Amino acid sequence: MRTRRSLIDLDDLNADEIEYLFARTRQFESQPPGHLLEGVACANMFFEQSTRTYTSFALAQQRLGAYSITLAPKDLSLATKGETMEDTAITLGAMGIGVLVVRHPEPGFPATVSQWFDGHVINAGDGGHAHPTQALLDIYTIRDEFGQLAGRSVAIVGDILHSRVAHSTIRGLQRLGVEVVLVGPEPFLPHDYAGKGVRVERDFDAVLRSSDAIVLLRIQRERFAEMPLSFEEYVRNYRLDAKRLAKVRNETIVMHPGPYNRGVELDDSVLLYAGWRYAKQVMHGVSVRMAVLDFLCNGVAVAS
């Protein structure tokens, strides 16, 4: 049934389209976008909690002049009346919803919804699989800092295995010519990641001086039952703290997709570090999502 373009992972965009989205993001940051989505109804359906992604999609939709609707899954007929997700998606499409932003704990859920929904589906995070708009805003933040991406080295540190952000960001960075170094212990970074064209490093200290950007990840406790290694050992080996920060180059930036857990993957010294870019990431999240919504609904803008 699906007739319109969706964004399920970064593979849905070619390199030129990613560049276009970044150029459009920059444009939206420097001038008001105008009501490019006037009359378009966007529904945000989050089956998992969200602060950043939900709020920035809602803001992006409102700034583009769209109708922004929240569909809380517990309030839908899906919850207690036996209506399937397939029939929910068909119903929403028939009602004229143009964009459905979906977050769900099950990998592949937004892709399945996109087969039934007659509109654009945007994956706002599906289990440990993908989070394409977070990856776009993270890569945009690195580009914004350094200009060129090709030849840069980015270390992604922590629970890679369960991180949908890492999985999308790795693919995007590789396609744009960035060296990706994954850092973590075997239970969070199985050795077979080395076959995916990335460098696998167990020793965090070994990458501190060579990294242009360090992306920290939280432990994704909601995606596994038992901590697979000693928590104290993990924190000792992989927390970015004042001692490790003293070893990075002055121009190195430190990022985190959020939410971050103080005392686990970072300590408070990181939040005071001049190269801490979390607030910029959050800010870019709104304009990147405006660019994605505009691109899916309107295509490539013709220069006037």
Amino acid at 10: L
Q: How many CB atoms lie within 10 A of CB 140?
A: 25
Residue with smaller CB distance to ligand CP, 258 or 275: 258
56 vs 88, which CB is nearer to ligand CP?
Answer: 56
Paired tokens of 259 = 């939410």
Q: What are the percentages of helix, strand and coil residues in the chain, rounded to 5?
A: 45, 15, 40
Question: CA 254 to CA 158: how far, in whole Å?
Answer: 13
Q: How far apart are CA 75 and CA 249, in angstroms?
A: 50
User: Of the two residues 93 and 128, which places its CB atom closer to ligand CP in the complex?
Assistant: 128
Min dist. Cβ of residue 127 to ligand CP (A): 13
Tell me whether residue 54 or residue 273 sits nearer to ligand CP (CB atom): 54
- Closer residue to ligand CP in complex, CB, 33/285: 285
Comparing CA positions, the residue from 70, 92, 93 lying closest to residue 4 is 93
Question: Which helix H or strand E contains 109, and what residues bound it?
Answer: helix 109-116
Write down the least CB distance from residue 52 to ligand CP, Å.
4
Rounded to a whole number of angstroms, the minimum distance from the CB of residue 50 to ligand CP is 3
What DSSP state is assigned to residue 189? S
Least gap, CB of 276 to ligand CP (angstroms): 16
Rg of the chain in Å (alpha carbons):
19
Between the CA of residue 247 and those of 166, 180, 240, 242, 243, what are the distances in Å?
24, 20, 11, 9, 7
User: Measured from the CB of residue 188, what is the shortest distance to ligand CP in angstroms?
Assistant: 18
For residue 290, the minimal CB distance to ligand CP (Å) is: 16
By beta-carbon proximity to ligand CP, the closer residue of 138 and 144 is 138
Residues that bind ligand CP (CB under 6 A): 50-54, 125, 134, 257-259
